[in-house]
A and B are shown apart, each in its own frame.
Chain A
Amino acid sequence: MTARAPLTLAAVLLGAALTASPAQAERLIVSVSNHRVTVTPNYSGEELVLFGSVEKDASTPASRNNYDLVVTVAGPRADMVTRRKERKFGIWINTDSRQFLKVPTYLALFSNRPFDAIASPEVQRRQQLGLNNVLLTQRVGPDYADVVPNDAFRSAFVRLRSEHGLYREATSAVTFLTPTLFRTGIPLPAEVPIGTYDVEIKLFADGALVTKTDSAFEIVKVGFEQFVATTARQNGLVYGLVTAFMALMTGWMASIVFRKD
């Protein structure tokens, strides 16, 4: 028993060294076209562009030229509840529900070719490639866990978010302009949540992760929208009073304008 311990340690170290060494071989340089998306009165969705290049250095194996790229964009996280309606006493009411904890309000996964072609199912699962493999933590009784992709609540959750354009997966969205230069569009629908968005770019070669890098952008309300939203949240009473006063003024003006005599 004691003799095997150093051996296992050595194996772990070797493993770590093996996975770590390719990370030095390539470097990803990326940029998002706009790091601050502003929501204005006429905001009705936008598309950002992410572009970047793969930088090789001396230690890069010369034979390695076919890269695969997976871009994951995750919006601000929130707790969400998925409810299922069932027929009870002749009417459809919410019965069962499942709580999703700290899941991204927006989630997009883009790659240059199908995930199955990029990596093995095992790697896909570990690297969270594809909506089926992304970790969506649920509260299951007292436990916190993700469930199988075909779980009714999980798939309904993903489907509903996808219908609103808030969850998306596109396996041909990343284009390699040259073998090392790439770009992809990040479509943001009109009802996109406000907050910070994390972008994770993972580079694969021969079915294994080579390197990864992060970027981010934020979506903010500005001007009047920002003012109204913040006031409503922070000064509820003042906001309510102003709204009520506005209602009274509108009513009063109408009675003046349309006075019959």
Chain B
Amino acid sequence: MQLYLPIADIPVNVFLILAMGAAVGFVSGMFGIGGGFLMTPLLIFVGIAPAVAVASVASHIAASSFSGALSYWRRRAIDPLLALVLLCGGTIGTALGVWTFTLLRSLGQLDLMIAMSYVILLTTVGGLMFWEGLRALLRTRRGGAATIRRPGSHGWIHGLPLKVRFKRSKIYLSIIPVIVIGLIIGFIGAVMGIGGGFILVPLMIYVLRVPTSTVIGTSMVLTLVTMVFATLLHAVTNHLVDAVLALILMIGGVTGAQFGARAGQKIRGEHLRLLLGLLVLSVGVRFAVELVIRPEDLFTIRETGGAG
């Protein structure tokens, strides 16, 4: 069934978009991430302009993270204070990100920037995750305890001023690194059209040492608010949010996520991290290959103004 998207200005097959939403939703439910880093490239692949894809995926992630956050809230797995402090940074980061996005778009380097950030971010994070997962797996093979490693002392982070006690997470921590992390996630989220959950979760675990019980729920709150904010800003400044596209994605996404979450519970933690690392890494590598090989067409056209 063809449906004409009012903002993207192209007709798409509804079932294809639904299926894409469901597939990405499955993965995101399984790993407890937003899945924007998969959704945005897929949309670009079916012919939706990168700018529209990035802006519309923001609202899709908002939907899936809200449904996730609600269930974590019921299980009291969210640290409200930690979420609030993260949000302070996240909001500023998102605003900066949308502003950068608009700037890059006018310079004609948006596509390159999106591709480059995907390559750098995904290969690095994916590689690290994969490596971590592999090591954890090998340790369990050898019969060692498969505990989550918390490397280093990170003395300098704990030596920073403005310390606050985060009760539900049971940590005593300076708010400065928390705000900085929020800012980074908000920024890359707005520029790249990703929720950033897959970066935020490791950062919170390894840098802030947030216990695993509250980490996913809290990160979802941050994702939720930054993505709602990003949706609003993209709608106001760039007029690029396609609500029809977003709705189809959401419906597919939230459904897929439920099945993904169930599948995720059946897989062991180390395996899950290994798989996620592999997935993130392969998306990153795919973008890298695209940048390096000679493109099929050296020329591209972009409308810059005049008739709408």
Q: Which residues of A contact B (CB under 8 A)?
A: 39-44, 76-87, 90-94, 97, 99, 102, 105, 153, 156-157, 159-161, 190-191, 193-195, 221, 224-226, 228-229, 232-233, 236-237, 239-244, 246-248, 250-255, 258-259
- Assess the B7–A229 pair: CB atoms within 8 A: yes
Contact B301–A247 (Cβ < 8 Å): no
In contact, B7 and A90 (Cβ under 8 angstroms): no
Q: Measured between alpha carbons, how far is A247 from B244 in the docked complex, in Å? A: 11
B247 contacts A by Cβ under 8 Å = yes
Interface positions, chain B 12-40, Cβ under 8 Å from A, are: none
15 pairs across A/B with beta carbons < 8 Å? Answer: A82-B299, A83-B302, A85-B298, A85-B300, A91-B291, A102-B306, A190-B4, A193-B9, A225-B4, A232-B7, A237-B236, A240-B234, A243-B246, A244-B59, A246-B59
Q: Max chain B CB contacts within 10 Å: which of A76, A105, A228? A: A228
Contact assessment for A251 and B298 in the assembled complex, using a CB-CB cutoff below 8 Å: no
Q: Which of A84, A191, A225, A240 has the most CB of B within 10 A?
A: A240
Whole-angstrom distance between the Cβ of A256 and the nearest chain B Cβ: 9
B241 touches A94 (CB 8 A): no
Inter-subunit contact B258/A258 (CB<8 Å):
yes
| Nearest CB on B from A18, distance (A) | 38
CB-defined contacts of A85 to chain B, threshold 8 Å: 295, 298-300
* A242 with B243: CB separation less than 8 A: yes
Tell whether, in the assembled complex, residue B65 and residue A91 are in contact, meaning their CB atoms are under 8 Å apart: no
Given A99-B304, A236-B239: A247 and B299 interface contact (C-beta under 8 Å): no
Give complex CA distance A259, B74 in Å.
Answer: 11
Q: Among B63, B112, B291, which residue has its beta carbon within 8 angstroms of that of A250?
A: B63
Question: Does A241 lie within 8 Å of B291, measured CB to CB?
Answer: no
The 8 A CB mask of B256-292 against A (1 = contact, 0 = none) is 0110000000000000000000000000000000011
Is there an interface contact between B301 and A157, defined as CB atoms closer than 8 Å? yes
- B301: A residues at CB distance < 8 A: 80-83, 157, 160-161
Nearest 7 interchain pairs by C-beta: A240-B235, A251-B66, A78-B306, A254-B254, A156-B299, A76-B307, A251-B67
Quick check: B63 and A84 within 8 Å, CB to CB? Answer: no
**A160 and B307 contact, CB distance less than 8 A:** no
Partner-A contacts on B (CB < 8 A): 1-4, 6-7, 9-11, 59-60, 62-71, 108-109, 111-112, 116, 227-228, 231-237, 239, 241, 243-244, 246-247, 250-251, 254-255, 257-258, 291-295, 297-308
Given A94-B300, A251-B63 in contact, is the A243-B305 Cβ separation under 8 Å? Answer: no
Report the Cα distance A87→B227, complex, angstroms: 35
A252 touches B304 (CB 8 A): no
Which residues of the partner chain B approach A39 to less than 8 Å between Cβ atoms?
Answer: 4
Closest CB in chain B relative to A131 CB, distance in Å: 15
Q: Tell me, in angstroms, the Cα distance from A39 to B4 when the chains sit together.
A: 8
Q: Which B residues lie within 8 Å of A228 (CB)?
A: 6-7, 243-244
Q: Which chain B residues lie closer than 8 Å to A159 at the CB level? A: 299
With a cutoff of 8 Å between Cβ atoms, the chain B residues found around residue A42 in the complex are: 1-4, 11
Report Cα–Cα, A251/B70, bound state, in Å. 9
Residues from chain B with a CB closer than 8 A to the CB of A79 are: 303-306
Nearest CB of chain A from residue B202's CB, rounded to whole Å: 24
A157 to B237, CA, bound (A): 29
User: Which residues of chain A are near B228, meaning CB under 8 Å?
Assistant: 244, 247-248
Which residue of the partner chain A has the closest CB to B255? A254
Contact check, B232 vs A244: say whether CB atoms are below 8 A apart.
yes
Tell whether, in the assembled complex, residue B254 and residue A250 are in contact, meaning their CB atoms are under 8 Å apart: yes
Chain A residues with Cβ under 8 A from B250's Cβ? 246-247, 250-251
Which of B67, B108, B291 has the most CB atoms of chain A within a 10 A radius of its CB? B67
A37 to B258, CA, bound (A): 42
Assuming the A-B contacts A81-B108, A258-B258, are A240 and B300 also in contact, with contact meaning beta carbons closer than 8 angstroms in the complex?
Answer: no
| Chain B residue with the shortest CB-CB distance to A92 | B295
Please, how many angstroms separate the alpha-carbon atoms of A78 and B160 in the complex?
54
Knowing that A239-B241, A251-B64 are A-B contacts, what are 16 other residue pairs whose CB atoms are under 8 Å apart, sorted by A's residue number?
A44-B11, A81-B304, A85-B298, A87-B294, A94-B109, A156-B299, A160-B297, A190-B10, A226-B6, A232-B243, A236-B237, A240-B231, A240-B236, A244-B231, A247-B227, A251-B68
Cβ-defined partner of A247 (8 Å) among B2, B62, B295, B308: B62
Distance of A42 Cα from B232 Cα, bound (Å): 28
Q: A83-B108, A93-B112 are in contact. Are A243 and B241 (CB under 8 A)?
A: yes
| Chain B residue at smallest Cβ distance from A242 | B243
Contact partners of A246 in chain B: CB under 8 A: 59, 63, 243, 246-247, 250
What is the bound-complex CA distance between A99 and B237, given in angstroms?
24
Q: Which of chain A's residues has its CB closest to B64's CB?
A: A251
* B9 / chain A contacts, CB cutoff of 8 Å: 191, 193-194
Checking A82, A239, A247 against B60 with a beta-carbon cut-off of 8 angstroms, the contacting residue is A247
B304 lies within 8 A of A80 (CB): yes
Separation of A246 and B2 alpha carbons in the complex (Å): 22
Q: Nearest residue in A to B62 (C-beta to C-beta)?
A: A247
A255 to B116, CA, bound (A): 35
Q: Which residues from chain B contact A242 at a C-beta distance below 8 Å?
A: 243
Q: Which residue of A lies closest to B1 (CB)?
A: A42
Q: For residue B241, which residue of chain A has the nearest CB?
A: A243
CB distance from A158 to the nearest CB of B (A): 10
